[in-house]
Amino acid sequence: FADDDYSGTNWERPAWKELMSEIESGNVSVIIVKDMSRVGRDYLRVGLFMEMLRENGIRLIAVNDSVDTLKGDDDFTPFRNIISEWYARDTSKKIKSVLHAKGNSGKHMTNAAIYGYVKDPADKNHWLIDPEAAAVVRRIFNMTIEGKGAYQIARILTDEKVTRPQVYIAIRDGGNYVPKSADEPYTWGGRSVQNILDKLEYAGHTVNFKTEKSSYKSRKMSYRPQDEWVVFENTQEPIIDTETWHTAQKCRTVRRRGINKDPNPLTGLLYCGDCGSRLYNHRGTLAGVYDSQDSYACNQYSKYPPKCTRHYIRTSTAQNLILGAIKSVSDYVRNNQAEFIKIVRDENELRHEQDTKTRRKQLVKNQKRYAELDTIIKRLFEEKISGAITDKRFEILSGDYEREQSELETQIAELQAGLEQYQADGEKAEQFIKVVKKYTDFTELTPSMLNEYIEKVIIYEPEKVNGRVKKQKVEIFLNFIGKFDLPIDGEDEPEEAEEIDLEEIKKAKWRENYYKNREQILAKKAAERTAVKERKLTEQPLKSPEEIAAEQQARRERKREYQREYQRKWREQNPERWEETLKRHQAKKKKKTA
């Protein structure tokens, strides 16, 4: 039995499992190995294996280690097993240190380029775009932004006979992958689509140390937290831009949280103006609202007891407001592009002006002190050479100055990163203009338009006036530029119009129709109730008084059990209120007794 290219730390080796099967079948009397490390590199499991051979009367010979269980136990064998494991552990540490050095240098850590890229023939650590696969990657991201889920995309690609990534890479790199069936090369899974959407590499970056193994003995990979990843930006040509990648992630989050199989495109964009929670989409009747089909309400309102007010808004109303805002801002940007850039930059500078001044002042101060420390350390070294200060004093002073210099270096990097971020914020107007130029038709609000234009929409509680008129404040925040108010001259500024409450009008019409035809409606309902009772009497077989009494008793028991269970759950969820209620009842009982 031989297991080539398998580590001795792996106990799932194919030939090893065949050998164990032969041992269990009683077909083995002697096992010969080159040395004990060929059995395995885990001294505990090797010891158990030798004990199992001893119990089954099987002889073990390790030629190079002079081990022969027929001649008796060798006291040094356990130490050989420990040394074999130490060798595997030491090798693992060395390989891990090499991989860490490679990953921290910004090189890709995968053996093959991911789907959408190929290795550069001139430099294997650099990736080039694979046009055929890159087109599929772009399409997957675009379909996600349009509102399709991972499994919907997988079905579309399967129906179109697009070769799935594993097979494509195997064929491209000359692998020997053989599909189990004729349709398997084209069978996409939702997990494959999700893996593509997860990869930040498609935005042109290198991401290392996303996974890890708990031990060199384990083959199971686990994902590390995202803040522990090491990202090197702009290491290869991007297949999609960074904004598209982030937009797709936002769309995926919305679909994960959506209750319906086909969630409303507005889901995940509407937020409560008071508690900040997301607004949930309701496609049935919302409690306390007449004609509430396809609407949004605060998530905290649906809880019991309600932790916030309703913040109700119809989906159609929200869509019209968003579409109007997008159209107005886009028209203004097209006609006044230079003025729009100036307004956005002025607002950004005004928002960050004081902080920017403070950061720049501190940056200059830190850089000056850093240069001073360089001079001081040089002078200290010269004084040490000349014998003006002792070696001990030199070590103390130079250590303090180097620590201070190291702290200043970290602070300088943070300050520069903050100033660069402000500069990037100032360039967001150009990014928004790119989105405006992408869309020209505003007759319909598509999911892709929503996700590329809208950051969030804040919905406030409606204010009712005279019972029939209401005003509702809605704030729309656009991607890159936030809340943007169109500049309007004071003379031309229109008066705030009051919106007629269609809900109250519908209620009034219903009440008028009900009282007008009240007698006919009541007579019709009474006839329907009578017909139902007669049908039940004819359909149900006659029962004896004992059966009827037993059924009534069972219903009472079920009701009491339901009440007890409901009361138990209520006590567990509201222990403080239960204690207050109990004390109040005890006080009443004591007062009544007195």
Q: How do residues 508-518 score in pLDDT, each as one tens digit? A: 667 677 777 77
One-letter identity of residue 445: L
CB atoms within 10 A of CB 6: 14
Residues with Cβ within 8 Å of 87's Cβ and at least 6 positions away in sequence, in order, are 37, 41
Q: Distance between CA atoms of 110 and 149, rounded to whole angstroms?
A: 28
What is the per-residue pLDDT for 351? 59
Beta partners for residue 402, in sequence order? none
- Which contacts of 21-28 are long-range, i.e. CB under 8 A and separated by 24 or more positions? 23/52, 23/53, 23/56, 23/58, 28/58
Tokens of 587: 């006080």
Q: Distance between CA atoms of 365 and 520, rounded to whole angstroms?
A: 88
* Residue 264: strand, helix, or coil: coil
Helix (H) or strand (E) holding 129: strand 123-129
**Phi/psi of residue 297, nearest 5 degrees:** -145, 160
* Residue 455: strand, helix, or coil: strand
How open is the CA angle 106-110-115, to the nearest 5 degrees? 110
Q: How many residues does the chain have?
A: 594
What is the per-residue pLDDT for 181? 54
Q: Distance between CA atoms of 177 and 246, rounded to whole angstroms?
A: 34
How open is the CA angle 379-385-390, to the nearest 5 degrees? 90
H-type alpha helices, 240-336: 242-257, 315-335
| Strand pairing category for 454-459 and 270-272 | parallel
Cβ–Cβ < 8 Å for 329, 486 = yes
H-type alpha helices, 75-126: 77-104
What is the per-residue pLDDT for 260? 43
Q: Distance between CA atoms of 359 and 414, rounded to whole angstroms?
A: 10
Q: Distance between CA atoms of 365 and 233, rounded to whole angstroms?
A: 29
Over the stretch 297-324, which tens digit does the pLDDT of each residue have?
A: 888 887 777 788 888 888 888 888 888 8
Where are the strands (E) in 88-194, listed by range? 117-120, 123-129
What is the per-residue pLDDT for 504? 60
CB atoms within 10 A of CB 4: 6
Tokens of 413: 């990097």
One-letter identity of residue 345: R
Q: Distance between CA atoms of 443 and 66, rounded to whole angstroms?
A: 86
Tokens of 584: 């109040």
Peptide bond before residue 494 is cis, with ω within 30 degrees of 0: no
Tokens of 31: 């096992």
**Residue whose token pair is 């049908």:** 535
CA–CA distances in Å: residue 338 to residues 329, 432, 489: 14, 13, 18
Cβ–Cβ < 8 Å for 129, 237 = yes
**Residue whose token pair is 């070294």:** 381
Q: Which residue in 95, 94, 92, 86 sits closest to 215, CA to CA?
A: 92
Q: Which residue in 151, 326, 116, 146 sits closest to 248, CA to CA?
A: 146
Cβ–Cβ < 8 Å for 307, 300 = yes
Beta partners for residue 482, in sequence order? 478
Burial of 264 (0-12, 13-18, 19+ CB in 10 A): buried
Cβ–Cβ < 8 Å for 436, 453 = no
What is the per-residue pLDDT for 468? 59
Where the chain has pLDDT below 50, the residues are: 182, 256-261, 287, 290, 489-500
Backbone CA torsion sign across 101, 104, 107, 108: positive
Q: Distance between CA atoms of 424 and 406, rounded to whole angstroms?
A: 27
One-letter identity of residue 7: S
Tokens of 128: 């080039």
What is the per-residue pLDDT for 355? 65
Helix (H) or strand (E) holding 279: strand 279-282
Q: Distance between CA atoms of 435 and 440, rounded to whole angstroms?
A: 10
**Phi/psi of residue 508, nearest 5 degrees:** -65, -40
Cβ–Cβ < 8 Å for 471, 463 = yes
